[in-house]
Amino acid sequence: MSKAYEIVEQNLRQSLRFFARATGSGQVRETPGVTMISCGKNYPLFNSALLASEVPGENGDLGSRISTPATYFSNLGFGWSYWVCEDMLDEKSQRGAAGLFHSRGLHRVVGTPGMVATQLTRPRMKPPQMQFRRIEQAHHRIAFCHITAMVFEIPFPMSRDVYDCESAWRSDFVGYLGYLNGEPVTSTIVVITGDVAGLYSVATLPAHQHKGLGEATVRYAIEQIRAERGIQKFILQSSREGLGLYVRLGFREVCRFTIYRT
């Protein structure tokens, strides 16, 4: 019987693999204990490691599972991040995790809940008049890069490096833009793994936030994926700012992640 965290963790793993193919120089390395994903450039946000299996309750090996990617990325000369699903750690490893990561040069950036929804609540208010476009052409990707750079505070050239690659956008990685008065102001990505769809990069330009535009875009993306793929289960990792929205939409927390970064 699968555990609640597994569908969230597996979808996240697939979403991060995007960056290995986005720049043309990335790679994925699998070991028995850890998965390492490099975008091929020194972008710590887009070079990542994840636990490949649960850390056992006896003789926990979290230390070695940190050392392996630390050596890998050090040899590449890249900064990197470790996405840790807390549900994959035994209690002893959870207590000692922060110290182990710190000793290897990684510091806790944020904790984030993994959430699941199968049925969305009804909108509380009339949705704004928007138009939506699937990200399919070069100008769509550029608009997405712009929104991502602005909202997540990363340099625009970096955003283009990792997102403006046509071949990286495959059938399991679908993006949408929301337009207001002809201007692209919102974005979201949907990553498909089996019968689960994950929502990522949900963003609204600062000047248009708190108007219901992001919610409208999320609802549209979910409706499209349901209609096209028949998928009924949706997951995401929520930021602190977005948690209230996702709870209102009907998402519930099933696990937690901690992100460490060099």
Tens of pLDDT, residues 159-218: 999 999 998 898 899 999 999 999 999 999 999 999 999 999 999 999 999 999 999 999
Q: What's the token pair of residue 231?
A: 């998928």
Amino acid type, 110: V
Q: Which pLDDT score, from 0 to 100, does residue 93 have? A: 85
Amino acid type, 228: E
Q: What's the token pair of residue 103?
A: 């000793």
Residue 47 DSSP SS3: coil
Pairing of strands 183-193, 196-204: antiparallel
Ramachandran angles phi, psi of 48, nearest 5°? -140, 160
Q: What's the token pair of residue 53?
A: 């299996």
Q: The pTM is what?
A: 0.92
Residue 3, pLDDT > 90, answer no
Which strand (E) or helix (H) includes residue 62? helix 62-76
Q: Which pLDDT score, from 0 to 100, does residue 58 have? A: 57
Q: Domain coordinates of the chain in residue numbers?
A: 4-112, 131-231
Q: Topology of 131-231 in CATH?
A: Aminopeptidase (3.40.630)
Q: Which pLDDT score, from 0 to 100, does residue 130 have? A: 96
> For the ranges 47-61, 129-143, 178-192, 247-261, which has the lowest average pLDDT?
47-61
Residue 83, pLDDT > 60, answer yes
Residue of 197, 214, 5 whose CA lies nearest to 89: 5
Amino acid type, 46: F
